[in-house]
Structure formats: C-alpha cells, structure tokens
Copies of this chain bind each other. A is one copy, B any other.
Amino acid sequence: MPVSLSALNDASRDEFLAVLGDVFEHAPWVAEAAFARRPFATVIALHEAMLAALAALPAAPLTAFLNNHPDLAGRTARREPLTVDSAREQAGAGLDRLTAEETALLVQWNAQYRARFGFPFIICALRHTKDSIFTEFVRRLDGDAASERHTAIGEIARITALRLTRKIEGAGMPSVHGRLSTHLLDTTRGLPAAGVPIELYVLSADGSAALVAEAISNADGRTAAPLISGRPIPNGIYELRFSLDAYLSGAGFLDVVPIRFKIAEPEAHYHVPLLFTPWSYSTYRGS
C-alpha cells in the first residue's frame, strides 16, 4: 500500500526512513538527507532532493555507493542475496531464467565492466527485456569512464523513481510508466469488434515468444485494462496476436493477425489499433 506524500511530510524521522530508507540501494542516508528538506509539494520534488544528496557526494564515496549495487546475474551465479526490490526488478526482465551460456556471459561481462570502470554495471531492469539488457551491456562495455559514471547515475535515477512510485502516492508523480493499448474496429460494419481474443508476446532474438498479456476485446473493441500499464514497457520487440477466425466465421483470408513492433520508449503510450475486414487490415501507432 502506498503512503501519501502528505503523511510523509508529517511523519517522524523513523517513519520516514521506514518507508524511504531502502529506495537507494544500501543507502538510507539519502532518505535522511531528504528528510531534512521537507515538506515536499510533489513526489518529483522529493525525488529531486534525494538525487541532489547523491550529486553532492565526492568521487570516492560515490564509487563506494555504486559498488553497493548488485551484479546483474542469474540466480546460480549470485553469491550474495539481492535486496527485495532488486530481486523483483531483475526477475521482471527474465534474469532469473537465464541459460547456462547466458549466465556465463553475464559473469564474464560483469568482471570486464568492473575491471574497466571500478563499479558494477547498473541498469534499470524494469525498462528492459533480457535481449535489450544484453545489447546495452555490450554497448556500454565500450563506453568511456566519464559517460558510464553519468549513465549509471541516470539509471539509478530511473530505478529510484520507480521505487518511489510504488511506495508513495501524491501530487506530481514522476512519469515512469508506459502504456500499451489496442482497439479493434470492424470496418465492414463500422463498429468495434467485441469478443476477439488478444495475446501479447515479447519476442527474443532466439526466435522464442513469451506471453506477456492476454485479453478479450469488449463491446467498445478495447480491453478492460491496457495490455501493459503501471510500469515501464520493457524495450524490446513485441507481437500482438488477434484471433479473428471465430469472429469472422471463416469468411475472408484472415485467421490470426500478428502485429509486430518495437518498443523503444518505455515511458510512452503506445496505442496499436487493428482496423480490419475479412480481406484487409491496417494498424498504426495511434495516440
């Protein structure tokens, strides 16, 4: 259950730290610094106060802070337990279901990254699929020290904004959630298409497809809730599958209509409608 921002503004130091102490990984002092700057008019202002405390750190303690973050790795490769938040975030990106080869790669890259930059590879896992994490890791191994330090802090800002959004509710929330929605329109009748099964898959580079969401279109041709919402949409390639066969009763030449697309802005709204007849369809990124 989220706590209200106004309650936090009025809370004791202990209560405040109980809620926010673990937002920054192993760094309750960040929340303490924010406590001293209350009250906050918005959740964004609270987050900015926490980031300001981090930005004030000299180089050496900042490196120490970065080093308190866990390696990105599969369960089997991990020696120390993750914090609850990190475990949830890494699992969301499929990092708890790695093959032996993938685990070995991550172990090797983690070592290379640490050797090169002096701290672990940090990424906001909730914004990524396993594929996009691997792509990013390869890209960032080639970065330079200054930009990687900058990137690491940017990723921590994203991670902590998402954690705050789970823990607090109030005015001025950070925009950290994306949304994926659809709409089915039967243009033969000029009406929404109800009762059509919809599946959303995330595709991997190895050709596999994992079911992410499923729904049945309602009388308005929409799904009761967005297919993805309340979180970033992980970067990756997705396929919506609309099972039109029953709806069309065998007329025409459509059966299951797959629509494949890339998500590259996890915080954006992707509206992906399907307009169809038994013999044609169109789709687009709408708004």
User: Which listed residue, B220, B256, B264, B279, touches A187 by the CB 8 Å rule?
Assistant: B279
Tell me the smallest distance from the CB of A271 to a CB of chain B, in Å: 10
Please name all residues of chain B whose beta carbon is closer than 8 Å to the beta carbon of A188 when the two chains form the complex: 188, 277-279
Indicate if the CB atoms of A286 and B253 lie closer than 8 Å: no
Q: Give A272's nearest chain B residue, CB to CB.
A: B253
Q: CB-nearest residue of chain B relative to A275?
A: B284
- Residue pair A190, B260 in contact (C-beta under 8 Å): no
Main secondary structure of the interface of A (DSSP, over half): strand
B255–A189 touching, CB < 8 Å:
no
Chain B residues within 8 Å of A284, by CB: 185, 187, 190, 275, 277, 279-281
Complex Cα spacing A190 to B286, Å = 7
Contact (Cβ within 8 A) A253 B258: no
| Assembly stoichiometry (copies) | 4
Given A278-B188, A281-B282, also A237-B262 (CB < 8 A): no
Seed contacts A253-B264, A279-B285; 9 additional CB < 8 Å A-B pairs? A187-B277, A187-B284, A188-B278, A190-B252, A190-B278, A253-B285, A256-B260, A281-B282, A281-B283
Cβ-closest 9 pairs across A and B: A190-B279, A282-B282, A280-B284, A187-B280, A190-B285, A253-B261, A279-B285, A187-B277, A258-B258
Would you mind naming 22 contact pairs between A and B with Cβ atoms under 8 Å apart?
A185-B284, A187-B279, A187-B284, A188-B277, A190-B252, A190-B253, A190-B277, A190-B279, A190-B280, A190-B284, A191-B287, A221-B287, A253-B262, A253-B264, A254-B262, A255-B261, A255-B262, A256-B260, A275-B280, A279-B284, A279-B285, A280-B282
Question: What is A's interface to B at a CB cutoff of 8 Å?
Answer: 185, 187-192, 220-221, 237, 239, 252-258, 260-264, 270, 275, 277-287
